[in-house]
Structure formats: C-alpha cells, structure tokens
Amino acid sequence: MLDDYRHKGQRRRMLMELKEVGIQDDAVLAAMDNVPRHFFLSSAFEQFAYQNKAFQIGSGQTISKPHTVARQTELLQLESGAKVLEIGTGSGYQCAVLCAMGYKVYSIERQRLLYDKAGPLLKKMGFKPDLFYGDGYKGKSVFAPFDGIIVTCGAPEIPEALLMQLALGGRLIIPVGEGDKQRMFSYTREGEKEFSRQEHGEFAFVPMLASRAQDK
C-alpha cells in the first residue's frame, strides 16, 4: 500500500475543495488527511480517489463522496475518545476517518463480502474498530449507549433502536428517504424520550436494507 507524494498532493487539493464547500472543522480535515482514500478503492479507480465522487466497491454498494464523509463526521460534534457506532461499514473509509478522529468505533455491515474485506484492510492501516456482520437496524445494544451514531445508507425511516442506543446528549446522523436522494438529519437525545432534530440538506446514498436475503 503506497501513499506517495502524488496521492498526498491530491489529498491536499481535496481538503482545500472541502473547505471551499463549507467544511470548517479542522479535526475532520486533519483526520481525512491521515486516511489515504485510494486504499479503499480498486486499482481501476485509484487515480480518481481524491475527486468528490462515489465509486463502486462491490456487492452493489458505493464508497460515500468525501464531502458526505466530511459532513457526517462534522455533524457528530464529538471529542476524541467518544464512542461511535457506524451503520454500513462498506469499504471501511468512513470507519477509518472516525478512528482517525480518535473515536472508539463500532461498525456494522450486512454484506458479507464487504465485511470480510474491510477488517483486514483497516487492521493493516493500524486502525482498531470493532466490526460486526449483521443488521444495522438493530444497532448494537450490548455496547450502548453511544455518543454518536452515523448511518451511511439511506434509511426509509428512523430506526427506533438507534435512537434508544444514544447516550444523553448523543447524536444520530442519518440520511432519510427512499429513492436516489435523502435529507440529512441529526437527532440529539435531550432526555429519556426527548429528541431534538435538525436538517442538513440533500445527499445521495445507497438504500438501507433490512433483510440479508441479497447476500452473496
């Protein structure tokens, strides 16, 4: 796995572009500088790895755009050391960025092939998230409560289990909507059953799927 001056230069340009489109959190930009995105793509896409584009990662899934990863990470607004659950490990890129933020990361993936691939790659890069193969709708109650939960697939509705696994003051970042486009929401837990909600604009994600029937 080579990260040479060309990749580093392209990554710096990507970070400048992210700033231009409004990413302001220096910790997020530093974390993204520390994670070579091209490690998560097949060699066919390597030269495009630092463009603001989503790419196929196998099993019909895509790695999120850098802007989407930056924005979702920024919306968590957590300190280093916080406990974060990700739904949709996919390539492992967003997971690596969360690890680089200094979070204790748990991530769930429902596609076996992607789950099998992400673990060894993240380990090789020196990251130590806890990865699970399963249905993210249920969250991971044994490790709850979480300071942050980040859903990286388009949810048709808000999974109740995820809200209930938030710590008090914790945040769920979730794109909601069926079809090609979703609206990004953050839910903050204000009390046992009280949540406040904010909207953060339009994004595009692959769908969140409940059943594992499509596993290959």
Answer yes or no whether residue 139 interacts with ligand SAH by CB under 6 A: no
Which one, 43 or 192, has the nearer CB to ligand SAH? 43
Q: Which stretch binds ligand SAH (CB under 6 A): 10-18, 29-37, 135-143, 190-198?
A: 135-143
Active site residue 80: no
Q: Phi then psi for 14, rounded to 5 degrees?
A: -60, -40
CA distance 194 to 68: 27
Stretch that binds ligand SAH, among 12-20, 98-106, 107-115, 176-184 (CB under 6 A): 107-115
The CA-atom distances, in angstroms, between 40 and each of 11, 73, 135 are 14, 18, 22
Range in contact with ligand SAH (rule: CB under 6 A) among 22-30, 77-85, 105-113, 168-176: 105-113
Position 153 contacts ligand SAH (CB under 6 A): yes
Q: Which is nearer to ligand SAH, 15 or 96 (CB)?
A: 96
* Sole binder of ligand SAH in the list 94, 165, 182, 186 (CB under 6 A): 94
Q: Considering the rule CB under 6 A, would residue 206 count as an interface residue with ligand SAH?
A: yes
209 binds ligand SAH (CB under 6 A): yes
Answer yes or no whether residue 108 interacts with ligand SAH by CB under 6 A. Answer: yes
Of the residues 64, 91, 107, 186, which is catalytic?
64
Q: Is 135 in the site for ligand SAH (CB under 6 A)?
A: yes
Closest listed residue to residue 149, CA positions, set 208, 83, 80: 83
Active site residues: 64
Residues at the interface with ligand SAH (CB under 6 A) = 57, 61-64, 87-88, 90-91, 93-94, 108-111, 114, 135-137, 152-153, 206, 208-210
